[in-house]
Each structure stands twice: as C-alpha cells, then as structure tokens.
Amino acid sequence: MTAAQFEKELAELEKFASDAFASAGDSQSLEDMRLEYLGQKGKLTLILRGLSGLDKSERPRIGQLANTVKEKIQVLHDQRKEALYREQLAERLKVDRLDVTLPALGRPLGHLHPLTLITEEIARIFYGMGFSVFEGPEVETDYYNFDALNTPASHPARDEQDTFYTNLGPQVLLRSQTSTAQIRYMEKKENKPPLRIIAPGRVYRNEEINARKYPLFHQVEGLLVDKEVTMGQLRATLAEFLRLLFGKPLRTRFRPDFFPFTEPSAELDSECPFCAGSGCRTCGHRGWLELLGCGMVDPNVLRAVDIDPEEWSGFAFGMGVERLAMIKYGVT
C-alpha cells in the first residue's frame, strides 16, 4: 500500500467515524462505535498494521497523520458523548419535573434538653431583674464549699457519706452546692457591692440513686448584696420570679429552716400543681412541693470576703432545676 492510499483510507475513516458518531442515539451505541474505530481490534489499528510495508521515508509522516486522525476521531466521540448526556438529562428533567431551585431538605437537629431550656429561661428572668450570670468551677476546695460559707467543721455535710472528695488532695472535692460561686464572685476586688448574680451549674452529692435522688443534679444560686436589704424584698423577688417562670402566680409558703450561710433561713414551698394541694404520690401526700432554700446572708459570709456587714446586707437563694422543670413541664 502506497502513502497516497494510506492518506485516502485515513481520510475516509475520519469521515465514516464522524457520520457514525452523529447517528448514535444512545451511550451504548456510541461506545460500540468507538471500539469499532479506535479499539485494539478497530479499523484504525488494522490500517496502522500496514505501515510496515510502507517505504521507511514515508512512515513518520503517515504515522503522524494517523495520530492526528485518531485524535480527531476521539474529539468527535467526546463531543457526541457530551451532547447525548445533555439530551438525556433534558429528557429526564421533563419526566421527573425536578425544580432544582427548591431548597434542600434539612436534617433534623433534635431539641434542647428540658433542663437546658429552663436554665436559660431562669437566666433571662433574673437578667431582667438586674442580675448577671456567674459560673464557678465544679471541682472545689472545702474552703469555698464549707469554710467561707460559715459551715462548721463538725457539720455532717462535710462527711464522706455526703460529699464526694477527690484524690487530688485531702481538701479537694466536687462542689455540693452552687453557693461556692457566691464566695468566688465576692472575693474578687473588682466585684464590690451592690451585687446581683445568679450561678447555674451542676452539683454533686453522695446520694442513694432512686426515683427521687441522683448523685448529680443542677442548681441555680442567687445572691443580692445591697444596703438595707430585707426579707420582704427576698420574698417579693422570688414571687415575681415564679410568676414569670410559670406564667401565673403560685400559692407559696415560707417555712423556717436552717442553712449555715443564711440567717434567718427559710424553705419556699409551692402548692402541688399535680393534686392542687389535696395530696398525691408526687408531693408525698403533703399537698406542697419544696422549691428552694433561701435567707438573709449571714454576716460571717460577708466578713469572709471583706464586706462590712454593718454597712451591707443581702439575701441568697438556691433552687433545684430538676424540681422546677418537673413542675413547669408536668413531669410526675
């Protein structure tokens, strides 16, 4: 075969491949045609096998021409493949009627825990009353957990059966109350009276695990220090807080109690919302639910942080978040 014959066959091969690719109606037909022209046993390969009989001086030129034809055929194939893809996509969109401008479906992210929700709501209510939020560490020393809070060395709360002591040191423990935040806040030189803070957080006590008790629970501590603070202001503050939290006034009562860091001290109870005060399993058939402990800040607590109790006074309160959540969300 002469060089002129090679040139003619290559030109015809390019034309036939172009016509064939243009007539392909689907991807599979197009792939079959690609193999027919460019495959290992395709027509171009058969033509190139005849190069050995060509004059040596013509082989480089014809070989280069063959490579050019091969590249052109490959480009024709790729163009037709892209065109078929677009045609098929257009047909699918007509059938599926997919509106690609619609927003994607989002994945559900779940919900905040009830304790988180009510803690945030408590913080918002007291923020509206002028209180700021302060958080102290959960790993404490017995100075902040007991000594600075006027708790004597003989107090039973210091015993290991009530408090979790750690192996970090003989005086290092998990705080049993968020009252520790009072001391940490007041002892800072920049925090001078008048003061209004709440301190939410986790606390730990060595309790027996049952339906009513667990070693880990949540508290919100409150502290107000100002001049001429009275028990009446404490009661009015708590009554307004409960009204805002539950959306209506609650029937409450103050019961005298004792806490080392307040004097006088009281427990604030509310009428059981589950039985309207008639007595049920939830309230222990007493008709009342204990909500929080409170009282006037003991002068010794103020002295421990270098605040003069002759000039300043205050009140404090501590509430269990689980109990408030139980009442608000109707958990019996």
pLDDT in tens, 15-42: 888 888 888 888 888 888 888 888 888 8
**Residue 309 — pLDDT band, cuts 50, 70, 90?**
very high
Give the mean model confidence (pLDDT) for residues 154-181: 85
Q: Are 150 and 260 contacting, i.e. CB atoms less than 8 angstroms apart?
A: yes
Phi, psi of 202 (to 5 degrees): -85, 145
The domain locations on the chain are: 3-96, 114-329
Cis before 260 (ω within 30): no
Please state the rounded mean pLDDT for residues 76-94.
86
Where do we find the tokens 């629970």?
A: 217
Residue 48 has pLDDT above 90, yes or no: no
Mean pLDDT lowest among 59-73, 113-127, 206-220: 59-73
Residue 125 confidence (pLDDT): 97
Beta strands 132-133 and 216-226 are unpaired
State how far the Cα of 290 lies from the Cα of 269, in Å rounded to an integer: 4
Average pLDDT over residues 176-183: 94
pLDDT over 70 at 261, yes or no: yes
pLDDT score of 46? 79
- What's the mean pLDDT when you consider all of the chain? 89
Identify the band that residue 98 occupies on the pLDDT scale cut at 50, 70 and 90.
low
Give me the pLDDT at residue 1, please: 67
Residue 121 reports pLDDT greater than 90: yes
Residue 97 has pLDDT above 80, yes or no: no
In 3D space, the residue among 190, 218, 194 whose CA is nearest the CA of residue 205 turns out to be 218
Are the C-beta atoms of 104 and 168 separated by less than 8 Å?
no
What's the pLDDT at 107?
85
pLDDT at 94 over 70: yes
Give dist(CA 118, CA 112) in Å, integer: 10
pLDDT over 90 percentage in the chain: 49
Predicted local distance difference test score (pLDDT) of residue 149: 93
- pTM score, two decimals? 0.66
Does the pLDDT of residue 117 top 80, yes or no? Answer: yes
| Residue 108 clears pLDDT 90, i.e. is over it | no
Of 95, 100, 188, 112, which is closest to residue 144 (Cα–Cα)?
188
pLDDT at residue number 218: 96
Confidence class of residue 56 from pLDDT cuts 50, 70 and 90?
A: confident
pLDDT at 157: 66
The more confidently predicted of residues 114 and 5 is 114
Average pLDDT over residues 288-300: 94
Is 269 a residue whose pLDDT tops 90? yes
CB 309 within 8 A of CB 303: yes
Q: 218 near 320, Cβ under 8 Å?
A: yes
Task: Kindly state which CATH superfamily the domain 114-329 is placed in.
Answer: Bira Bifunctional Protein; Domain 2 (3.30.930.10)
DSSP 202: E
- pLDDT tens string 126-164: 999 999 999 999 999 999 999 999 987 877 767 766 889
